[in-house]
A and B are shown apart, each in its own frame.
Chain A
Amino acid sequence: MPQLDAHLQAPARLRLMTMLTAVSEAEFSTLRDSLEVSDSVLSKHVGALASLGYVGSHKGVHRGRRTTWIWLTAPGRAALGAHVAALREVIAGEQADPGRRTDLQVAAGPMSNRLRELRAARHWTQADLADRLDISEQTVNAIETGHFDPSLSLAFTIAAVFKGRIEDLFFPAADTGPET
């Protein structure tokens, strides 16, 4: 059974930790703007991760203002690696390799979709749709923003929820969508 880290389950924390792997240290407001969260939310996450020893922080100056610089510690890097490996194992439960894309998928390139448009037409929030699909709100957002292409089974479920066909919902990014 994969050993998921409960402290990294929150999407914002996983994104924060992953972003910190790209830098040696980052300034508080840079992370806040990238994550699109408020000061207090980021403070809370950083505080929780710092208490676990996953991130470190120090006070510094940025653009003439006193601010906080945050970095990923070695235990944090290890915890993130283990958590990502566990998530990949979860995904592998459904498909042999989470990073695997068939030649056809690669040739097709990134997909676009009409989820946001159809959801708005029904006056559903992302949370409403997530409830209907039995997935997280974060996943709905990831699909809508094009960061994540759903599995075939989820695509069928989405099509069923919208009472349409998969090809009416998903199409290659180069296209503008199905003709209506």
Chain B
Amino acid sequence: MAVPTPDDAAAALAEAGASRAQLAGGLGLPSCFHSSIGVTVALQIAAAAVEVAFDTGWTRLLAVAAAALFALTAGVQLSRFRRLNGVRIGGLTSRVVLGTGWAAASSYAVALGGAFWAALTGRWWLVALCACAGGLAYAGSGRRWLRLYRRDPAAHARGEPAGWLVVLSALALAVLALLVLVGR
């Protein structure tokens, strides 16, 4: 096999890098992508807080409906992204939609905790504020991921390993259960 000249090698790497940057830079988001995710996260936080405060059949239904709305929105938006661009990106699914990035996960946890405390102490204006802040931070961290991805696609394309997602989900459920128990 012939060893390429340094210029040929450099050109090959430059071309490959340019192709990757072009692909990543050309990806578009479906309309209302970040806003729909942010709004449904805010609704989910608010509904969960209402459920923690009252815990009736209706509030349970409301919390489940809000979670289902988030799941449906996430599924539809990911499907639209895939259809629009002809690619699937694990990093987008886990970091932007499922909120496994540090900023999204921590802001969500703080907003949810704040909303629970506010609901249990009857400060409903604060529940609304926490829900909105949670949704905004969630959407904002998604925008930040996209900027980072476009700067270095290879480093940010991959999603979290499935095992880590299971651990994170279990941890989130445990925290939720603890908050509910403490609230009573």
Which residues of A come within 8 Å of B, CB atoms?
Answer: 2, 4, 6, 9, 11, 14-15, 17-19, 21-27, 29-30, 34-35, 62-63, 69, 84, 87-88, 90-91, 93-95, 98, 134-136, 138-139, 141-143, 145, 147-148, 150-151, 154
Question: What are the residues of chain B within 8 A of A35 when measuring CB–CB?
Answer: 19
Other A-B pairs, 6, CB within 8 Å; known A9-B4, A19-B16, A25-B88: A19-B20, A19-B23, A90-B3, A90-B9, A142-B11, A151-B10
A135 to B10 CA separation, bound complex (whole angstroms):
11
**Which of chain A's residues have a CB closer than 8 A to the CB of B5?**
90, 134-135
Could you tell me which residues of chain B, from 125 to 162, have a CB within 8 Å of some CB in chain A?
Answer: 153-154, 157-159
Contact of B4 among A15, A84, A87 (CB under 8 A): A87
> CB distance A30 to B87 under 8 Å?
yes
When the two chains form the complex, which single residue of A9, A18, A62, A98 contacts B86, counting CB atoms closer than 8 Å? A62
Q: Tell me the smallest distance from the CB of A81 to a CB of chain B, in Å.
A: 10
Contact between A25 and B12, CB atoms less than 8 A apart: no
A30 to chain B, nearest CB (A): 3
A94–B11 CA distance with the chains assembled, in angstroms: 14
Provided the pairs A2-B3, A30-B86, A30-B87 are in contact, do residues A18 and B17 lie with their beta carbons within 8 angstroms? yes
Report which B residues bind A (CB closer than 8 A): 1, 3-20, 22-24, 82-83, 85-91, 153-154, 157-159
Is B153 within 8 A of A21, CB to CB? yes
Are A91 and B9 within 8 A (Cβ)?
Answer: yes
A150 touches B16 (CB 8 A): no
Q: Judging by beta carbons under 8 Å apart, are A135 and B18 in contact?
A: no
Point out the residues of chain A lying under 8 angstroms from B158, CB to CB: 24
Once the chains bind, are A62 and B83 in contact (CB under 8 Å)?
A: yes
Q: Are A34 and B22 in contact (CB under 8 A)?
A: yes
Contact (A151, B7) CB under 8 Å given A6-B1, A26-B87, A142-B15: yes
For residue A71, give the distance in angstroms from its CB to the closest CB of chain B.
9
A35 to B1, CA, bound (A): 24
Of the residues B12, B22, B89, contact of A23 by C-beta under 8 Å: B89
Residue of B nearest to A153 (CB): B7
Asked if A19 contacts B19 (CB within 8 A), the reply is yes
